[in-house]
Amino acid sequence: MSYTTLMKGCVLTAALLITACAQSPQAIQVAPEFPAPTQVNGDGNPVHIRVSDQRANKVLGSRGGAYRETSVITLANDLSLPVETALSAYMAAMGYDVNSLDPNTTDVHVIFSSLVYDHPKEYGLGYDMDMMAGVEVEVRRGNEHYEGRYRIKRNQKFFNAPSNSHNSQLVNDLVAEVLVSMFSDPKLVAFLKRN
């Protein structure tokens, strides 16, 4: 085997290794799907739901690989509207009247303060993803108000890097999970049910 042929083979192998370690950027479409509610206790109480995105960092994280600074994960659409639509449907399934014109309607403002889906720089065997979602809720009715903060945080390990579709599913599941967790707050539920 000639020196030239050997060098071409080494260059090709190196290029393949670099390509294998690279991850392309991904923009995830927000479209959370909520599970069927475990409690149907809204009792027809009127609510108006608003969702806003107040995250300081709009990048969810990195997919890792050789160029982690450019293999970022972001959202393809605005977080507010699709989450607001899905959350309204979920609260309607819980028995709340989400389209009421009642003057005593409770205003439910959900604020996303963080959303993280990131492959850490240091990792061992397998493929780790750090996941975290944080929301604040401001609930007002007349002169009364209630505020709460909720957070989901976990690390999940995969054998290989998740695909685009798997990333999308995991991020949307995370969004739904943190919102479902709000309704395990008995003080929030009591406030929403108060007439």
pLDDT band at 53 (very low <50, low <70, confident <90, very high): very high
End-to-end Cα spacing for the chain: 86
Q: What is the pLDDT of residue 8?
A: 47
- Average pLDDT value for residue range 94-103: 90
CB atoms under 10 Å from CB of 139, counted, come to: 19
The answer to whether 134 and 181 are in contact (CB under 8 A) is no
The most distant pair of C-alpha atoms in the chain lies apart, rounded to whole Å, by 86
- Rounded to whole angstroms, how far apart are CA atoms 73 and 34? 23
- By DSSP bridging, strand 47-53 and strand 106-118 are parallel
Q: Which residue ranges form the domains of the chain, and what is each CATH number? A: 25-193 (3.30.160.150)
Q: What is the pLDDT of residue 18?
A: 38
Q: Which two tokens stand for residue 160?
A: 């290989």
Instruction: Provide the sign of the torsion angle of the four alpha carbons 84, 111, 163, 33, taken in this order.
Output: negative
- Average pLDDT value for residue range 110-118: 96
- Average pLDDT value for residue range 141-157: 94
Which range among 37-46, 78-87, 149-158 has the greatest average pLDDT? 78-87
Q: DSSP states of the chain as a string?
A: --HHHHHHHHHHHHHHHHHHH----EEEPP---PPPPS----TT-BEEEEEEE--S----EE--STTTTTSEEEESS-SHHHHHHHHHHHHHHTT-BTT---TTPEEEEEEEEEEEEE--SS--SSEEEEEEEEEEEEEEETTEEEEEEEEEEEEEEESSPPPHHHHHHHHHHHHHHHHHHHTT-HHHHHHHH--
Answer with the residue of higher pLDDT: 69 or 31.
31
- Average pLDDT value for residue range 112-129: 82
Q: What is the pLDDT of residue 92?
A: 97
Q: Which residues lie closer than 8 Å to 75 by C-beta, 6 or more apart?
A: 27, 28, 29, 30, 58, 60
Q: Which two tokens stand for residue 43?
A: 């009792």
- Rounded to whole angstroms, how far apart are CA atoms 120 and 133? 16
